[in-house]
Every structure is written in structure tokens, then in C-alpha cells.
Amino acid sequence: MTLRTRPRAAVALLSALLLSAAAGCSATGDRAPARLGESGPATPSSAAGSTAARGFTLVASGDVLPHTSVIRRAAEDAGGEGYDFRPMFSGVKKLVSGADLALCHMETIYGEDGGPFSGYPAFVSPPAVADGLKDAGYDGCSTASNHTLDDGADGLRRTLDRFDKAGLKHAGSARTAAEAATVTTYTAGSAKVAHLAYTYDTNGYPLPEGQPWAVNLMKQDKIVADARAARKAGADVVLVSLHWGTEWQTAPDDTQLSLGKALTASQTAGRPDIDMILGTHAHIPQPYEKVNGTWIVYGMGDQVAGEMFNHSGARDLRGNYGSLGRFTFAPPAAEGQRWQVTKAEFVPQMMDLSSGRVVHLPDALAEDPGREDYTSAREEITEAVLSRGAAADGLKEAR
């Protein structure tokens, strides 16, 4: 396992552990939570023939990783009064806010309002990041990563407290055992959508004493059990976020391939237990692939990050490239059947360090087709995303 890189920093090498832990997803906001293990399902799936059945669009994006330079940019955007991350996401706000359900990945944890804040190796980010995400239109984020325990239980608590304040939901970390035993759910269209999240490790930081449920660690049996429990509690669609993979490697590694295959093959009564896998961690865009009839996004890349250096110590522009996935789900033909992805799309995006903004590359190039840096970024992202044949299964660049 490697730690995240920072400007001009060497990459530290640690051992990757796949540990089991109590799974947990919090449910906050205006929708009633469904507890894992509750007896009997909630309202069953809406069928396509029902007048109440409505499909939905899902948007998901990659790692939000505020390095020190990113924090400085937010301070500049705030005009000397705190930190303002809203302008950073303005270029993708229309796309994100236009979805029925939008999910991000908050890789780092938050400090106190007044700081101090830090980048690599132990990230402590301004809580105002959550306000920027909410303003962009995100409904919630996965919060299980190798940096979730960078500031221990206090950092985890501050992060989720700020999510609550901003009106964002979260999956993958928890402040209490009760919260860890509550699955995060959203209503999108007429579907009840469950969101589960896990990480391969926490950079060697142990789980807080007496809190084995604080962060969800990635283990196949646990993920499947949680997905089945979410379905039993009434989830029409089960989304699983995984913080996994090998940094700076475009191709999915052996763990991604084997675990992805096993998770997508898992079924109950002929129905897949998991409807989609959303991957993060590798720093760079990785492929999308349909496995056992289920879409896997192996890695969406970094949505927000500072200047990045790879394992060889070279500045690597790919560390600021990412893809945003957009999927359209349709109700099943009959109750109890699977909700189907009827349209699969990706949007190439880039963290432009010169402007300090996340750039929606198709839109930006439509306005300025002469930007060579945007053109090359779009081409490289597209090549990575389609490198395992996703185009043959209908994946297209969103227009």
C-alpha cells in the first residue's frame, strides 16, 4: 500500500491489509434510515408498469484530496475570510446538480473551523470543503479511505458533524455503533437507493480503541452480507464504493479484478446483490467495465488535488485527471426484479491548477477548442476509461 503523494514528496510504502470490520453507513437528512438486520423489507421495488415508477440518474465522481496548494486557493477565493471551495466546483455544478442522485468521495478529514490544516501525509482539511460539495449539488459522499483516521476519532467525528451541518449524507465511517449499523439511503426517482462504502486500509492507523465500527474495511464476505441486509431492508438499488487499487496504475490490479468479479456474481434468488461498484484511490482514471452484467468503475481518478508526483518522483499530469460517471436507471419490468442501467456515460474532467477549478472538459473545449492541455487530458482520460471494452457495452462520453 502506498500513501497519497504531495508536491515534491516521496511516496511512502506500507503493507496493504484487508481486514474485516463492522460495516456502517449513516443516514442523515430527511429520509428515514433503514437499519441493517431489520425484519421484513420496506416498500417493494416499483415496477415499470406502475404509474408511480420513475427512473433516475446517478452521478458519481472521484477523490477530493485537498493538498496545501488547494487549501491556499480556497483561502484566496474567500478573499481573506476563511475558505471558499464553491468556485472550485463551479465548472461541474450544472452536471452534478442536474442528477437525481450525486455522490462524491471525500478522502480526507476535517479540522476545526480555524485550523490548523495540512496536506500530505496526514491530511486535515478545512470544513468548508463540505459547503463547496453541497453547493455543487452533491447529496452525499463515501468517507472510507486510507486517510479516514489521519487525525483519529476526533477528525472522523468533525468530518461527519460538518456533513450533517451542510446537509450531506455519508457512507463508510461512523461516530457511534448505532450509526455504523444504519445503512445510508436516498430516494431517487421512485427508487430507494442504498450506499455502502469500504477502504482497503487506513495507512496503518489502528481503529480507535473500542470503536471497531469506525471505518468500514474491505472484505468480500462483509460487503456481500451488508448488501443483502440493505436489500432486505428495502433497497431497490445497492451502490458500493470501494477505495482500492494500485496508485498510478491504469489497469485494475488483481484484487480489483477478483473482488469485482466475486461481488458482481453474488446473487440472492437470482437477483444481483450489488447493482454498481464505484472505485477510488488510484489517483488516475481507470477503466469502466461491465462484469457479470454489472457496471464497475475501477477508479474515477482525483477530482480535486494539488500538483502530483508519481512513484518515480516525476510530475504526473494524470494525477489531476478524472472521470465523472453518469448512469440512468430504469424501473424493473416486474416487482422484485433488478433496476436496469439503460444509459451509461462518462464525463472527462480535470483539476486545472492554473485556475484552481475542476473543469468539465467537453464543455471547456466547446468554448475553447484550441486548448492543447484540455485536449490531451480528454484523450488520455477517454483512452483509460474505455481500455477494457466498455464502449462495446454502450458506455459513451456524455454530451
**pLDDT tens-place string over residues 117-146:** 999 999 999 999 999 999 999 999 999 999
Q: Which cell numbers in the block locate residue 91? A: 465548472
Residue 336's pLDDT band (cuts 50, 70, 90):
confident
Q: What percent of the chain has pLDDT over 70?
A: 87
- Indicate the DSSP class of residue 89: G
pLDDT at res. 51: 59
How many other C-beta atoms can be found within 10 angstroms of the C-beta atom of residue 255? 16
Q: How far apart are CA 313 and CA 326, in angstroms?
A: 33
- The residues spanned by each domain of the chain are 34-63+180-397
- Checking 48-53 for CB contacts under 8 A at 24+ apart, the result is 48/330, 48/331, 48/332, 48/333, 49/333, 50/190, 50/331, 52/190, 53/189, 53/190, 53/331
Contacts of 265 (CB under 8 A, 6+ apart): 292
Q: Under a CB-based contact definition with an 8 Å cutoff, are residues 287 and 304 in contact?
A: no
Query: Do the bridges between strand 340-352 and strand 396-397 make them parallel or antiparallel, or are there none, so unpaired?
Result: parallel
Burial of 334 (0-12, 13-18, 19+ CB in 10 A): exposed
Residue 155 has pLDDT above 70, yes or no: yes
pLDDT digits (tens, 9 = 90+) for 263-320: 999 999 999 999 999 999 999 999 999 999 999 999 999 999 999 999 999 999 999 9
pLDDT digits (tens, 9 = 90+) for 343-356: 999 999 999 999 99
pLDDT digits (tens, 9 = 90+) for 30-62: 333 334 333 333 444 456 655 589 999 999 999
> Can you tell me whether residue 106 is helix, strand or coil?
strand
Residue found under cell 472484505? 219
Residue 4's pLDDT band (cuts 50, 70, 90):
very low
pLDDT at res. 80: 86
**Average pLDDT of the chain to the nearest whole number:** 90
pLDDT at res. 225: 98
Q: 324 or 24: which carries more pLDDT confidence?
A: 324
Q: Under a CB-based contact definition with an 8 Å cutoff, are residues 140 and 186 in contact?
A: yes
Q: How far apart are CA 290 and CA 97, in angstroms?
A: 26
